[in-house]
Homo-oligomer: A and B are copies of this chain.
Amino acid sequence: MKALIYKGPNAKAIEERPKPEIGAPGDAIVRMLKTTICGTDLHILKGDVASCQPGRILGHEGVGVIDSVGAAVTAFHKDDHVLISCVTACAKCEYCRRGMYSHCLTGGWILGNSIDGTQAEYVRIPHADSSLYLIPSGADEEALVMLSDILPTGFECGVLNGKITPGATVAIVGAGPIGLATLLTAQFYSPAQIIMIDLDNNRLAVAKRFGATDTINSGDGHAKEALMRLTNNRGVDRVPVSLHLEQLWDRNISITTRLVDTVSMPVLLKSLSTGKIDASQLITHHFKFAQMLEAYDTFAHAAETKSLKVIIEAD
């Protein structure tokens, strides 16, 4: 099969690889229908991610069709359409039981990282029963690609960790795909004000269309002043570029970090299916699998191409 291979820092290629096989009773083999590229893939290509070694098939997002399953898989059958979570979860270890799938002792973010990923014709998914989600017939499968990573990341790391509440004033620094996913899902909790901060006026315009109440272009170095003006000098829960804990110690604040766990998948699936959120808005470009390298170029030059998320479909 064809696959997009990480060849070491700043090198990638489409190469022929053997089709993956069931290795453990919990595995499933999925034929890919649609995948996409993540900012993390660009980091890997820069050589920033030590856990991802040259030779690896990249990609941790997408939807596909079940090709075969191992003996212990009970939730999926051949020909089921499935959404792939970027985080693989055994569901049984102590971390999975606490909802921290990203720290799963035999899973976590491994796809397109420590095992081969989704930018290929087929992918092997370990712990399939708890790492795939059945796509109901009639669903918008392209929009669902946004649920593999970007929407749960914005929702879990931004909205849930940020404890957004009705009436709150929220600032989001960065209007890229993750920031916009946070913007979309923050509205689940009806904050009074959502202020979006970015250097790119195009992305700020997109943010306005996605529901931001205010935007700030921080290019002039006066983002803080603009923020205080917009909030009657009350300020917001925000993420300064540099953290001065010696000034923050008495402010009753929380700084949280988190890798997406995709525990919010059931909530997001239900919200998408009832029209509470339109994930397809995040998709700006379409490519065929054979055009994968062009897709990477488009995504890597977002300022010029105005790309947010790109969809790569099976040929």
Interface residues of A (CB under 8 A from B): 25-26, 71-72, 75, 91-92, 94, 96-97, 100, 102-103, 129-130, 161, 165-167, 185, 187-190, 192-193, 213, 243, 245, 248-259, 261, 263, 266-268, 270-271, 273-274, 276
Contact = CB atoms under 8 A, between A and B. Distances in A.
Contacts of A259: 249-252
B102 A71 contact: no
Given A130-B92, A187-B190, A263-B97, A254 B255 contact: yes
A103 B161 CA distance: 23
Given A25-B25, A192-B271, A250-B257, 6 more contacts: A91-B97, A92-B130, A167-B270, A190-B271, A251-B259, A253-B257
Given A188-B189, A251-B257, A253-B256, A71 B25 contact: yes
Nearest to A259: B250
A188 B71 CA distance: 43
A249 B257 contact: yes
17 contacts: A26-B72, A71-B72, A75-B92, A92-B129, A97-B263, A102-B250, A102-B252, A166-B267, A166-B276, A167-B267, A167-B270, A189-B189, A243-B245, A248-B257, A253-B257, A254-B254, A254-B257
B255 A100 contact: no
Contacts of A102: 250, 252
